[in-house]
Structure 1
Amino acid sequence: MSHSQQTFTNLGFVKTFVLPALFIFVGPLVSLLFFLHAQHRYDSEIRAAILNQIDSEQNVAPDEKRAARQFFERVRVSQLLLTPEGDQLGLPDSTLRDYATFRWLIRLSIASLVGGVLVFAFAGICVLVSLRSQYAQYLSLLISWQVLRIYSALLTIAIGIMLVALSYWVTALWLNAFSVKLVVIAGILALCGVGAILAAIFKRPKHDIVVEGVVLPKDPSSSLWQALESICTKVGAQPPDQIVAGIDDNFFVTEQPLTADGKKLTGKTLFVSLALLKQLHAAEADAVLAHEMAHFSGRDTLFSKKIAPLLQRYEAYLDALYHGGYTRPIFYFMLCFRALFELSLGKHSREREFRADAIAAQVTSPHDFAGALLRIAAYSKFRTSVEQDLFSQEQALVTADVSQRIARGFPDYATAFSADPDVGLSETTHPFDSHPPMLQRFQAIGVQLNANDICSRLKVVGDGRWYYHIPHADELERAQWEEFEEQFRGFHESTLAYRLMPDNPAEQAIVERSFPALKIEGKQSAVEFDFSKCHHTPWPDPLPFNEISSSELNDSGVLSIHFTRAGKRTRTIDLNKFSQADQATILEEYQRYYGRYLSAVDYQQAKKLKFEALVPGMTASETKTDT
């Protein structure tokens, strides 16, 4: 990366995270300046009254008057009130209470500002320390999270107090009046903000990890576990407690609790892709599994397990701050350090991957590991393209034959993939960590692959030896593909309803399965919806969605729908003539049915623009039958 690129990146980070974080100081600073001003104004008014009283005294010698004037001109009343001499001023109790209010709000504002600076510096140091090691990262995140959480909670309470105080004193001081309504609103905002933060502090967010696959229990006598034991011995790691075999296009290990195959799993888990194992050569699979076991030997999964709950609670806390109203500046303050820790997390994640790569290359060979990465990346990219191609079809899928299409087309695609000049920029997928681009990983293990090397490796179909280590692998894989493809087909059809503008019975049937004709009857009238229009009994005829320009609901419970037909016109639905439940249903279904129409319009318009850009002079409708 060039210096100019780095400078731009740093500048972008400052603009996106650091500058918004500084807004945390705005509230306390405004409060400090205002209450200093309020105190100074009281000092000036009371000093003027005292000086007038001194001048009016007839029985006091001129020297004594002069000395008294000099004293009160030199010493502020607010200072005197902090000494025993302040009692001699004889100020009313209400004035003393006002001074006490100003004094404590000034102290609260200063404490908030100083605390912000100290916490800012402390969290910054923690981020720097976290770069040293995974253990330092965990401790830094743990400690800084506690400090940031406590400080932000205290600051939320402090700003709430300042907000209520300002809502009263700004008008009272400058206008000699105050608004009860304004104070009540400020108080409600403060209570809501404090309540949201306190709830977030004690809330433990649920984070259930569900992995699709079949659990393969530990069986030391099976060839699968014996082969894996051999890999673990070479790597210096303990074998996993269980293996989950699925059809996702990745491999990973974790120590986080998860659910798979309806079972709650704890301990060390290895996920293997049946679909990928069938494509890999034995040595390539050895390299991949050695890489995964190296994460166990490096305690990577242990620290991921420790850090994950902290990050989950951090995210939940950020969400509470974001939606807490006046706590938004505190959100940006916390977000800044979450972003900084992301740099640390990314650094250690990359280091973990490079370490595991090096071990895998030593256990097998650098070229075997490089070949595995290439084959996995090619498979993942091809599978994505197959799914996207199927998903883009604007007709119901009789079958979503994803696995068959992959099996038929992958050999040819792998060869084409090897000729892609950007192959080195590809990354393999992972549910928990980010992976460096393959070119960097190849360079780290000393592999320089050219197009011919890549092509020769990918042209040879893998022997799938590890696949056949798994008992009944064919049956397990087929069952999972069938379930996946059925879900894919159902999801595809449900989204078709939001893409189609039906112009034939088949398309209309697809849309009507998700948006059937619906009638909501009240005591005096009814409202009807279908995929293309809505109707209310008092109306002379149905109103097509393509004529609607806007709609609005007023405070009286009347829904006004504006449309264009021989000029701008409006039709209304008086929701008061329906039950409370039906009112909610009418609004919900109106938004749903009309929203479906708008989504379809947007989709078809985007498709038309894309097609006309590819084939100038021809509209998409002219080739619809071919498509």
Structure 2
Amino acid sequence: MNTENTLRKDLAKVIVLTLTWLFLIPAATLLFTHHALKTQDDTFFQRVEQRLAADTRLSPERKNELLGFYRAHPLSSACTATGADEQDFHDQVCETFSMHWQFHWAERAAQGALWLGAALLIAAAALGALAFVDRKLRYMSFVAGWRVMTVGSAIEVTLQSALVVWLSFWLTAYFWERYYIKLVGIAGFAAAAAVFYAVYTLFKKTPSNNEIEGELLSPTDAPRLWQRIETLAARVGTAPPDHVVAGIDTNFFVTEAPCTVQGTAIQGRTLFISVPLLRVLDTQEADAVLAHELAHLGGGDTQSSAMLGPKLQQFDQYTWEMRSGGLTIVAHFLLRLYRMVFSFALARDSREREYTADRVAAGLTAPHAIVQSLIKISAYSGYRNDVEQRLFAEDRRHGTSLGIAGFVAEGLRPYAQSEAFITTMRSAGTPHPYDSHPPLTERMRNVGHLVDEQTYGAIVMAEPGSSWVEEMPTANAIEERLWSQYEQQFSEAHERSLAYRYVPSNEEETAVVLRYFPDASFELKDGGHIEVSYRGIHSSADGQPIPWDEVKSLSFNDGNFGNTLVVTHFDKGVLLSRTTKIKLRGLGKQEAGFKEAVSQYWHRHQVMRAQEAAHIGTSDE
């Protein structure tokens, strides 16, 4: 229920932000143009009335005739006047680039942006609804939606960027009778950057990196396992996989997307098997899992995912990059809204695919086999995750050989007897890299074999009578190589996190911090220099070092006589917070590197203090 509430809140938030960003600028433009033009019309008509009233040469009938004309032809209507008798009126009032000409086209552009925004919302709803019908329509609707949403949002960004530039001049010019070149310049630069970013990102290629961490398992490496896979595939009614990849991740999956394994590119149908999980599953349970994955191949699930996956990836990249392009935020939330609607359709289909694959597996093996495999996989993956989290949270460096597999193997059965085990299993799901899986209890009901949660522990603790690992002569060597690579990466990531977390108190901790945050020196004008370190900033031209603990905020100011770094301190000055200005004259090409170093080292310090505070808070509890 909490998940459903969170989804509803997220959807409501995205809807509100979509409507706000999509319609705010055009609506504001319309309100401004309507107010300005109406005020101009009223002022002009009052002047006409005053002049006609004061004109003694005109008869009352002629005065009424002229008043009727100006009442029927306000200045704001000049640009839309098309009659032959209105040509002079149009030419005099709506001269190209005049105020009324600009307001007329700004109003048209704002109306166009509003209509386009409304059309995109309707398209998002309609195409999203089609995605719920069936898989074929889902793919077609997303291909159409991908083009409509990305191209439409790029046009929307262009229109609204033009409106922002126009407003930056006319708001101040109209209300205060003056304009600010700098404001117009900033708006123009932001608009140009947004339009460029939207169009550039639209045609930007998405990097493809479907790396599978594992090793290819040939039929000669495990002939009986391959034979069993081929037999199960025939019973499912599908062709066997072209490749089998053995790895140490805590899942099984199939894919038809192009992949890379140990630097080798592979095409076709690929089955990933987890060697650690095969050790805890008996052959019947493993057969159930293999049949489940082969059912995905037979049902066309992987083919659909292979076709849709790259487009989803490209759409997601475009969506999130629109968040960081300034005015492109106009498009970001619209794209997110469409993606959320489409994700709901994908999630529903994913659940149905899992239910179908489970039923196929239960029919080919036994209902209890698929259920017990799900319980064991959930327990193993959950416990391994706990072990790795505890190791990562430790404040001491690890060696390259952590023995994670041994920790998990030794601790899994005691864990299955603990009170925390049942609590974790109640919300457990089977990990999978390509789709979301239904809760464990729902999958049990789907195959008609419910297991009481009090027996979960006994299922996990049961030793498999036989396993497919026994038929894999290369299994031990594969695991050894993969665990060695994984633990080396784990240790490196952990050590990097320690470089952020340490408040260095000894030589070893200081060495770790310096390995990732060495003292950096930058040359300044006239032989000066400025140093950035994990301790703080020190400029040879500005006296004492400034420790990071004294820094409240940082900002870079560009000036005609040289750039400066402004450090705002926590303590007060005469009126506001005390500041220190560090001159950066002479940095030249080093400036980008200097700014990056300042940002990274200060960020490290903030993370360090936050970790320290959290640790103290935990200790107090």
TM-score, normalised with respect to structure 1: 0.86
Is this contact kept in 2: 1:17–1:339, CA < 8 A? no
Amino acid at match of 1:164: V
Return the match for 2:9 from 7, 12, 28.
12
* Partner-residue secondary structure (3-state), 2:319: helix
Within 1, Cα distance between the matches of 2:546 and 2:50? Answer: 79
- Aligned pairs for 1:70-109 (under 5 A) are 70-77=68-75, 78=77, 81-89=81-89, 92=92, 95=95, 97-98=97-98, 99-109=100-110
1:25 Cα deviation (Å)?
Answer: 1.5
In structure 2, what is the equivalent of residue 120 of structure 1?
121
- Quote the residue 2:358 is aligned against: 357
Aligned AA for 2:369? D
User: CA offsets per residue over residues 378-416 of structure 1, 9 Å max, x none?
Assistant: 111221222223223322224311122223223333444
Displacement, 1:195?
0.9
Do the aligned partners of 1:274 and 1:467 also contact (CA within 8 Å) in 2? Answer: yes
Say how many residue pairs are matched: 608
Q: What does 1:119-138 align with in structure 2 at a 5 Å threshold?
A: 119-138=120-139
SS in 1 for 2:479: helix
What secondary structure, in the 3-state scheme, does the structure 1 residue paired with 2:468 have? helix
**Distance in 1 between residues matched to 2:31 and 2:582, nearest whole Å:** 53
Whether 2:607 is the aligned partner of 1:610: answer: no
Alignment partner, residue 342 of structure 1: 343
Distance 2:521 2:176 in 1: 57
Q: Report deviation, 1:367.
A: 0.7
Contact 2:522 2:594 in 1 (8 A): yes
- C-alpha offsets along residues 204-261 of structure 1, whole Å, 9 cap, x if unaligned? 2113111111012466993222110111112122211111111111111111122111
For 2:27 and 2:18, locate their aligned partners in 1 and report how far apart those are by CA, in whole Å. Answer: 14
Distance 2:610 2:517 in 1: 18
Name the structure 2 match of 1:249.
250
Alignment map for 1:375-394 (pairs within 5 Å):
375-394=376-395
Q: Distance in 2 between matches of 1:105 and 1:586?
A: 43
Secondary structure in 2 aligned to 1:270?
Answer: strand
Deviations 1:157-197 (A, max 9, x none): 22123223333333444444444443333332222121111
Conserved? CA contact 1:279–1:464, under 8 Å: no
**2:205 and 2:266 mapped to 1: Cα distance?**
20
In the TM superposition, 1:186-201 aligns within 5 A as 186-201=187-202
**Residues 558 and 572, structure 1, Cα contact 8 Å, conserved in 2:** yes
Residue 447 of structure 2 corresponds to which residue in structure 1?
A: 445
Counterparts of 1:366-515 in structure 2, within 5 Å, are 366-398=367-399, 399-416=401-418, 420-451=422-453, 453-463=455-465, 465-515=467-517
CA contact (8 A) 1:247 1:275 kept: yes
Secondary structure at the aligned position of 2:456 is classed as helix
Q: 2:23 aligns with which of 16, 22, 25?
A: 25
The CA deviation at 1:132 is 1.7
Instruction: Say which is worse superposed, 284-293 or 508-517, in terms of deviation.
Output: 508-517
The answer to which of 359-368 and 589-598 deviates more is 589-598
Q: What is the CA–CA distance in structure 2 between the aligned matches of 1:451 and 1:204, rounded to whole Å?
A: 48
Aligned pairs for 1:133-144 within 5 A = 133-144=134-145
Change (3 A) 1:527 1:194: closer
Question: What is aligned with 1:619?
Answer: none
Q: Name the CA distance, whole Å, in 2 between partners of 1:58 and 1:115.
A: 53
With over 3 angstroms needed to count, the CA separation of the structure-2 counterparts of 1:330 and 1:591, relative to structure 1, is closer
Structure 1 residue runs of 5 or longer lacking an equivalent are 614-627
For 2:429 and 2:113, the matched residues in 1 are separated by 45
SS of the residue 1:259 aligns to: strand
The runs of 5 or more residues in structure 2 that have no matched partner are none
Q: Displacement, 1:155?
A: 1.6
How far apart are residue 111 of structure 1 and its match?
A: 2.6
2:550 and 2:119 map into 1 onto residues whose CA distance is: 60
Q: State the TM-score, normalizing by the size of structure 2.
A: 0.87
Displacement of 1:437 after TM fit? 1.5
**Distance in 1 separating the partners of 2:599 and 2:97:** 55
CA distance in 2, matches of 1:97, 1:544: 56
**3-state secondary structure, aligned to 1:35:** helix
Deviation string for 1:450-469 (max 9, x for gaps)? 24543332222124532233
Q: 1:497 and 1:320, CA in 2 relative to 1: closer, same or farther beyond 3 A?
A: closer
Change (3 A) 1:26 1:412: same
Contact 1:196 1:324 in 2 (8 A): yes
- The structure-2 alpha-carbon separation of the partners of 1:532 and 1:18, relative to structure 1 and needing over 3 Å to count, comes to closer
Query: 2:293 corresponds to which letter in structure 1?
Result: E
- Residue 450 of structure 1 aligns with an amino acid whose one-letter code is D
Aligned in 2, Cα 1:213/1:463: closer, same or farther, shift over 3 Å?
A: farther
Matched, 1:208 2:216: no
Query: Does the aligned pair in 1 maintain the 2:249–2:274 contact within 8 Å?
Result: yes
TM-superposed CA distance for 1:532, in Å, is 5.0
The aligned amino acid for 1:16 is: K
Q: CA deviation at 1:438?
A: 0.7
Q: Are residues 489 and 189 of structure 1, via their aligned partners in 2, closer, same or farther at CA, if it must alter by over 3 Å?
A: closer
Residue 426 of structure 1, CA deviation: 0.5
* Stretch of structure 1 that moved more, 82-91 or 344-353: 82-91
Distance across 1 between alignment mates of 2:453 and 2:88: 94
Q: Is the 8 A contact 1:411 1:461 kept in 2?
A: no
Q: Which amino acid aligns with 1:213?
A: G
Residue in 2 that maps onto 1:289: 290
- For residues 62 and 569 of structure 2, what CA distance do their matches in structure 1 show? 86
Q: Equivalences for 1:161-200 in 2 at 5 Å? A: 161-200=162-201
Q: Distance in 2 between matches of 1:182 and 1:354?
A: 59
Would you say the 8 A contact 2:165–2:191 is kept in 1?
yes
Question: How has the CA–CA distance of structure 1 residues 549 and 438 changed in structure 2, closer, same or farther, with 3 Å as cutoff?
Answer: same
Q: Would you say the 8 A contact 1:415–1:458 is kept in 2? A: no
Letter in 2 for 1:34: F
SS in 1 for 2:217: strand
Q: Is the 8 A contact 2:542 2:582 kept in 1?
A: no
What letter matches 1:197 in structure 2? A
CA offset at residue 436 of structure 1? 1.4
How far 1:472 sits from its partner (Å)?
Answer: 1.3
Contact 2:222 2:472 in 1 (8 A): no
- Residue 43 of structure 1: CA displacement? 4.2
- Go from structure 1 to structure 2 and tell me whether the alpha carbon gap of 1:322 and 1:185 turns closer, same or farther (over 3 Å shift): same
Q: What secondary structure is seen at the aligned counterpart in 1 of 2:422?
A: coil
> Residue type of the partner of 2:27?
L
1:319, CA displacement in angstroms? 2.7
Higher deviation after alignment, 215-224 or 142-151: 215-224
Q: CA deviation at 1:516?
A: 5.1
What SS does the aligned partner of 2:124 have?
helix
Counterparts in 2 of 1:182 and 1:437: CA distance versus 1, 3 Å: same
Range with bigger deviation, 92-101 or 450-459: 92-101
Partners of 1:102 and 1:223 lie apart in 2 by 78
Per the TM alignment, residue 295 of structure 1 is displaced from its structure 2 partner at its CA by 0.8
Q: Distance in 1 between matches of 2:389 and 2:555?
A: 38
SS in 2 for 1:436: coil
Deviations 1:487-509 (A, max 9, x none): 22233233223333343444444
Helix, strand or coil at the partner of 2:250: coil
Q: What is the CA deviation profile of residues 273-331 of structure 1, one whole-angstrom value per residue up to 9, with x for unaligned ones?
A: 11111221000100111111111111111111222222222222223432232232332
Distance 1:175 1:448, change over 3 A: same
SS in 1 for 2:449: coil
In structure 2, the residue matched to 1:323 is 324
| 1:209 alignment partner, SS class | coil
The whole-number CA distance in structure 2 between the counterparts of 1:160 and 1:521 is: 41
